[in-house]
Amino acid sequence: MSKHIVNPLGSPHKKISSGLIDGPTQKETYEYNVKVLTKRFKKVFDSLEANLKPKTKISKRGKLKGSRLHMYSYNNKLFTQKEDKFQDFNTTFVFLLDVSGSMSAKTEGVNGMTLSRLGLSKAILKALSIALKKSLKGKIKIEVLLKSCPESKFQEHGNAGFLSRVYSSSVSNINPNVIDNINYSCPVADEQGNQSGSSTPELLLGKAVSYFLKSYVKTKNYLVFNMTDGDIYTNMSSENTYTSWSNRDNYKCMKKYFKGIPFISILMGYGFGKEDMKNHPNPVLCTDDKFVVRLETTISKLARSLSQ
Amino acid sequence: MAINAHTFKLNLKDQQESKENPTGNPNDLLGNLKQETKTTTDNIQKGGSVSDNLEDYSLSQNEMEEILLQGDLKVIQTQESCYNNENELTKFNVLFVDFTKRMN
């Protein structure tokens, strides 16, 4: 049966072979979470913006600085100019989101409301996108990429992995609402339009992430957030062999592709022991009931460090 | 004018800055930067706008070939050695697909 590529956001009503899709009650909870989180994030960024002081630089033009007047005979830099106080925020937050089936496990969102891990991840990403569009003059950009791997072979590529760019605040007129349509699936469908579910390729997609960072991210700084709830669980190979990938390989790929790149692992769920944590760079262990608070705090700290 | 150590340092700094901005006009540097940013933004914005209707995004074989030509899809060949078998390299492909360009 031939398979083709579909937009992972474009077919929310089509069948997904894994059978995982958030229902209407989840939708209401999700929307409530988005609303509350947007307010929370906006508050964080607005207070950050309010505390920013414009920097001044010595220049040949601008406002005359009295204390430098004595230098007039040998130096023409006697003036001060105000610099854009937002220039240090020229940053992109790159989110790598796991869309494997295990992300359907329930977790706790704002006010103890229950929704899926993917649902909460989407709510956070959407809330961040809305808040950052309104705050800090939109200087912090957001990119959302989905990590997935189909359950069976795809064309001549065999057991290939997919890195799908589905939302970018750098691309004009893309509404953050598109994040609503992210689901537990791979961008691969059969002739009937049934989309494939996804296993967990994690940082085996590292080379593609490097390609994306080099080719698409245009800001001075960037931070990569890897959002996942589990270990590598995939059989990626272009040959008819079975390869038993493990979290040690995740660690190897991190060393290989993300050396020197600011990288935060947002770990969801309770499945991470101390040993597992070693395989994820800069882990923020978000046990389900503290997930929102931990992520909010992490992003707030990062944003503040950028302004210093 | 006597040149003292302080002035000499300042002159050196001026020379260094003039290499970065040959005209010496800070506005030129800013102008170039703005132009560069605009060009980058224009390139990014070629993706167009998103419509309310998110249906019908399935890609046929022809459309997929079109995407390949447009550069929206990049096949990245990878090889990694598995931790459990360091001596053997496993080859696999990773497909990077930019769906933001199709949302118009």
pLDDT at A277: 77
Mean local confidence (pLDDT), A96-108: 87
pLDDT at B12: 36
Give the residue extent of every domain in chain B. 1-45, 48-104
Residue A245 gets which letter from DSSP? -
Tokens of A82: 């105000």
Inter-chain touch A211–B96, beta carbons under 8 Å: yes
| CA–CA dist A7, A187 (Å, integer) | 6
A190 touches B at CB < 8 Å: no
Confidence tier at A10 by pLDDT (50, 70, 90): low
A55 touches B at CB < 8 Å: no
pLDDT over threshold 90, residue A209? yes
pLDDT over threshold 70, residue A194? yes
pLDDT in tens, A11-21: 444 555 555 66
Q: HSE of A49 in the Cβ direction (CA atoms, 13 Å)? A: 16
Please answer whether residues A231 and A248 qualify as being in contact, where contact means their C-beta atoms are separated by less than 8 angstroms.
no
Helix orientation angle between A24-51 and A291-306, rounded to the nearest 10 degrees: 30
pLDDT in tens, A296-308: 777 777 766 665 5
pLDDT at B69: 56
Q: Which residue did the predictor score with more confidence, A99 or B67?
A: A99
Which of B28, B44, B94, B104 should one mutate to test binding to chain A, selecting the residue with the greatest count of A CBs within 10 A? B94
pLDDT over threshold 80, residue A86? no
Q: How far is CA A225 from each of CA A185, A238, A262, rounded to the nearest angstrom?
A: 20, 28, 9
Q: How many CB pairs under 8 A join A and B?
A: 162
Query: Which single residue is written with the structure tokens 């990429």?
Result: A145
pTM over 0.90: no
Q: Considering only the beta carbons, identify the residue of A159, A161, A178 that sits closest to B103.
A: A178
| CA–CA dist A170, B48 (Å, integer) | 11
pLDDT over threshold 70, residue A61? yes
Which of A1, A6, A7 should one mutate to test binding to chain B, selecting the residue with the greatest count of B CBs within 10 A? A7
Inter-chain touch B78–A204, beta carbons under 8 Å: yes
Mean pLDDT of chain A: 80
Could you tell me the domains of chain A? 4-52+87-306 (3.40.50.410)
Please name the residues between 130 and 189 in chain A that touch chain B, using a CB distance below 8 Å.
154, 157-168, 170-175, 178, 181, 187, 189
Inter-chain touch B26–A61, beta carbons under 8 Å: yes
Q: Which chain B residues contact residue A9 at CB under 8 A?
A: 54, 57, 99
Please name the residues between 18 and 77 in chain B that touch chain A, using a CB distance below 8 Å.
24, 26, 40-41, 44-45, 47-50, 54-61, 64, 67, 73-76
pLDDT in tens, B30-41: 344 344 334 333
pLDDT in tens, B40-91: 333 333 332 222 333 334 455 666 666 555 557 888 888 888 877 777 788 8
Mean local confidence (pLDDT), A220-244: 80
Q: Which residue did the predictor score with more confidence, A230 or B35?
A: A230
Tokens of A291: 């997930």
Tokens of A274: 């101390």
ipTM over 0.85: no
A70 touches B at CB < 8 Å: no
pLDDT in tens, A116-152: 888 889 998 999 999 988 887 788 899 999 999 887 7
pLDDT in tens, B7-32: 333 333 444 444 444 444 444 433 44
pLDDT at A58: 82
Query: Which single residue is written with the structure tokens 């991840």?
Result: A121
